[in-house]
Amino acid sequence: MTEAAGDVLYVIVSAAESASGVGELVTLAQDAGWIVQIVATPSALAFIDEAELERRTGRPVRSRYRKPHEPKPPRADAMIVAPATFNTINKFAQGITDTYALGVLAEAPGLGIPVVVLPFVNDALAARTPYRRSLDDLRADGVRIVLDPGDNPWQRALEELGARPSGALASDTV
């Protein structure tokens, strides 16, 4: 597939009820000029309309590492993790790469790729020490966390990302 010139935003989706609304983030990002690549955790696939997201982005939803004969996805210039579950946040902070989505996230801070995390975590889990520690660890790596997204969390995550980067570092392996 030939891509138009533009910055690529990876939207990393994890398994939360709000994942069904991630199409709104896709629309907002595209309206801002981003090329959007959806990367879903395997569990998130049950929460999203994969065919609709593929139609909107013109790209396959990625949830596993590619096979050697498959084309490489576009390189990420920025990433938004939305919704980010308790599990995804803690694994990201600890560098656990047991899914494609977490592998992509693990590389991003080290490559200078901006990452915004939009947690969707209930109050009981948000009160846990491991979660709070993970947020601190991610912030120490330069990851931006949106804890109070207001009325439109998708718009708020995109705003936190800021202006589209020009010539940001990107990974050959993501």
Architecture of domain 8-161: 3-Layer(aba) Sandwich (3.40)
As a whole number of angstroms, the distance between CA 127 and CA 131 comes to: 7
Q: Where are the alpha helices (DSSP H) in the chain?
A: 22-31, 50-57, 86-94, 100-111, 123-126, 129-140, 153-161
As a whole number of angstroms, the distance between CA 135 and CA 129 comes to: 10
Q: At 163, is the pLDDT very low, low, confident or very high (cuts 50, 70, 90)?
A: low
- Structure pTM? 0.89
- Residue 2 is predicted with a pLDDT of 39
Q: At 25, is the pLDDT very low, low, confident or very high (cuts 50, 70, 90)?
A: very high
For the residues 40-64, what does the mean pLDDT come to?
Answer: 96
